[in-house]
Amino acid sequence: MFGFLQGYKVLSIEGNGTQLFDVDKGIIVSDTQNYKAQVNASIFGLGSDELTPNINIDQTITMSLVE
């Protein structure tokens, strides 16, 4: 993720999604995935356990079929 961070620890992850599937054609028409995650890490080279950056991720991934 970031070159100067290491020792990632996932604290939480949650999400949901929807998928629209065309049964007649046997293909996925659209797909949306939403998730939130909280991660902490340590900073490379500083060697301190007291420095724990927190990373919050809020991501939406959307796919739509283009014909």
Gap between the Cα atoms of 11 and 54, Å rounded = 10
Its domain, for residue 10, covers: 5-64
Residue 2: per-residue pLDDT: 55
Residue 27: per-residue pLDDT: 96
Number of Cβ atoms within 10 Å of the Cβ of 42: 19
Range 1-35 burial, b when 16+ CB lie within 10 A, else e: eeeeeeeeeeeeeeeeeeeeeeeeeeeeeeeeeee
pLDDT in tens, 39-52: 998 876 665 666 77
pLDDT in tens, 7-36: 888 999 999 999 999 999 999 999 999 999
Number of domains observed in the structure of the chain: 1
Residue 24: per-residue pLDDT: 97
pLDDT mean over 44-61? 80
Residue 1 pLDDT > 60: no
